[in-house]
Amino acid sequence: MSDLADGIAFLKFLVEKGYMEEVTAKINEMPDLNRLLDDMYKTQLLTESKCVAYLNEWGKLKEELVEVNPMEVSLPMDVVEDHDRLSKYYIVPISISANNASGQLNTGGLIKFLVPYSYHNVVNKDYIRRALKPVHQTSAWQIELLYGLGDPVAAKYYDYAKKFIDSSIAQVDSLSLRQKLMKVFRDAVSNKIMDVVFLVQNSNVTIKRKFMDEFFTYDKVKFKPEEARAIKSMLAGTLGPVPASVINSEPAISYVIRNLIEDGNYEGRVEQTDIRDGYQIHIRIVNLQLHSMTFDDYYLTPYVKQALDKALWETRGLVIYGGPRGSGKQVFIYTSINEFRERRPNTYIESLEDPIEAVLDGVAQIQVEEHKGYGFSYYGKAFKRHSTNLYFIGELRDRETVEVAVTETVSGALLFTTTHISECAGIFKKLGAELKDDDMVIKLTNEFRLVTNLTMSREVCPKCVKQVTSKKELSTSEIMFLQSWRYNGRVFKANEAGCDYCKSYNYNVTNKLESIGNLAKPLIIVEGLSFDKEVLEICNKHYHVNDRENAVRKFMIDNNIYKSQVALSIMHQGKLSIQECMRLFPPNIYTN
């Protein structure tokens, strides 16, 4: 958004007016005004009221802002019909007033809505009008939009959402089985849930939704005993392509629901297995439209951002995106492909995937079908006759896929791929386990251009996080952890009890009001290692994979680019808590 792109000018205004010290402005310098405001608010550098007052005084925004916290949410819930449309952009109904004292609806009136300013170019009155019940969509009813800072508006939205949630549960009981399943999936998509599990035991249905590494019970939809027996037939036979003869005769089946929520943007990858006294159905929800993600959506250190940018301009070599299952590798590699096309629009891209996780316009995506004999090596032979600018192989999962990657990179191609590793330095052990050939690992290492590794973490709650100003506020283990990494930056601790803000923020995802001072808002920690001349020399000095791993890890720690150090640098910005850093990473046991 163009008017949110000048955070530096806003900081200069604050300094000129005497609202901020010049040294403080220099430390927080950031060109993206939207992210700058987010950082200043979350780290409590400026309160909401001061942010709003200073921005309005600055006068460079297209809309004047209002302070959210004092507002009361009073709009009756039955005015809105499509709450999903509101939740997408955290739109909050504030008040309604009819034109006459008797409150007759046909005379019209005024309805006010609160919108995060960052969405002012996206959300207009017509968008909101389509979310209202038909009686309020007439021109007799006027709509007024008010704008506030993103986080306070989001908190106010969840306060409002809790008011209508209980009544919506009562309405769900009258839905058909198919409608109930659609609600489960639409709620999951709305709350950015990737995995939904139906556990059916003795005609009782429990629904679990996975967020990061935890499964939370979802209870906004209740299934009757007779419905429990029909869920698998409805999913596999009606929504999926599985014949009835297979559904009840085979104990384990896999299939794809092509149009999961009937908007063409999501697929459901289904694994169904029989268990004692019932069955379980695991559904991975795949967003097929990943065209808008950019590197700006991640908190990348300057080293990692520079290394990624350099890799995208390479004409040959191997770029590996690593991380454990569920760390966000697939989304990040699609983001990199988007960035590659932005920098180099006149290029051709081919991919081999199993399965295809997103539909990319203008990319020749090939769905590998191992069960039909059309594996990675089958299509890899065709690649040899192409002169493509970028190849993408879905995953280095076995010797076959590694050999295809080796063949393409040594023949002068640029290739992106993913693999399961826990740190950048672990890539050698991973390849050694797959290839069982140290000579081949050495050959492939010389083709590396960049290895990244992702760790999924949770942002800290901006309301109850506290900056530590004295060592007395830290435990002995926390002090030892920070000392082991020689960290001297700012330290933030989450309130173990949580607060009303983070509890309400987490409600839709976790389905309960619990929090330990973290938000149900993933923050991806990106570790990266550019294989320049210095790193390749280190690799070539060590033949055995364990020695090479240790040497590369030591290099990364010495240069302050190891994953734990990346996490601590993000904590310095007030985005992570010391508790989250210690939950994800051990103390430094590798170097003295």
**Confidence check: pLDDT of 560 > 90:** yes
Range list of H helices, 324-375? 329-343
Contact 240, 270 (CB under 8 A): yes
- Supply the pLDDT for residue 173: 62
DSSP calls for 27-91: HT--S-HHHHHHHHHHTTSS-HHHHHHHHHHHT-SSS-B---TT------GGGBS-HHHHHTTT-
Whether the CB-CB separation of 247 and 232 falls below 8 Å is answered with yes
- pLDDT higher than 80, residue 167: no
Query: What was the pLDDT predicted at 184?
Result: 92
Taking 70 as the threshold, does the pLDDT of residue 103 lie above it? no
> Is-cis flag, bond preceding 355, omega within 30?
yes
Task: Classify 114 in phi/psi space as left (phi over 0), alpha (psi -120 to 50) or beta.
Answer: beta
Quick one: average pLDDT of 1-27? 81
The whole-number average pLDDT for the span 468-480 is 92
Given a cut of 80, whether residue 412 has pLDDT beyond it is no
pLDDT at 301: 92
**Per-residue pLDDT band at 198 (split at 50, 70, 90):** very high
Residue 2 has pLDDT above 70, yes or no: no
* Interval 389-403: pLDDT, tens: 898 887 777 777 777
Q: Is the pLDDT of residue 564 over 70?
A: yes
Q: Is the pLDDT of residue 554 over 90?
A: yes
Please say if the pLDDT value at position 440 is more than 50. Answer: yes
Nearest C-alpha neighbor of 529 from the set 297, 321, 326: 321
The answer to whether residue 5 scores a pLDDT higher than 90 is no
CA-CA distance, 115 to 412, in Å (whole number)? 50
Say what the pLDDT of residue 4 is: 44
pLDDT tens for 234-257 read: 999 888 888 878 888 889 998 989
- Mean pLDDT, residues 255-270 taken together: 88
Instruction: State which of 73-82, 165-174, 462-471, 565-574 shows the largest mean pLDDT.
Output: 565-574
Average of pLDDT values for 570-578?
94
Burial (CB < 10 A; 0-12, 13-18, 19+), residue 147, is: buried
Return the percentage of the chain with pLDDT > 70, whole number: 92
Cα torsion at 163, 169, 174, 176 (round to 10°)? Answer: 120
Round to whole Å and give the CA distance between 21 and 138: 51
pLDDT surpassing 90 at residue 145: yes
pLDDT tens column, 505-552: 887 778 777 788 888 888 999 999 999 999 999 998 988 888 999 999
Residue 101, pLDDT score: 67
460 has pLDDT over 60: yes
For the stretch 34-93, pLDDT in tens is 878 877 887 778 888 999 999 999 999 988 999 987 777 666 666 887 777 887 788 988
CA atoms of 284 and 266, how far apart (whole Å): 10
Question: By mean pLDDT, which of 252-266, 401-415, 501-515 is the weakest?
Answer: 401-415
Provide Rg for the chain, Cα atoms.
26
pLDDT of 353 > 80? The answer is: yes
Of 198-207, 291-300, 467-476, 490-499, minimum mean pLDDT range? 291-300
Of the pLDDT bands very low, low, confident and very high (cuts 50, 70, 90), residue 169 is: low
Across 540-565, average pLDDT: 93
Q: Grade residue 102 by pLDDT with cuts at 50, 70 and 90.
A: low
Confidence at residue 212, expressed as pLDDT on a 0 to 100 scale: 80
| Percentage of residues of the chain with pLDDT beyond 90 | 40
Highest mean pLDDT among 80-84, 133-137, 166-170: 133-137
Quick one: pLDDT at residue 147?
Answer: 94
Mean residue pLDDT of the chain comes to 86
The answer to whether residue 365 scores a pLDDT higher than 60 is yes
Rounded CA gap, 161 and 157, in Å?
Answer: 6
**If we measure between CA atoms, which residue out of 37, 121, 111 comes closest to residue 74?**
111
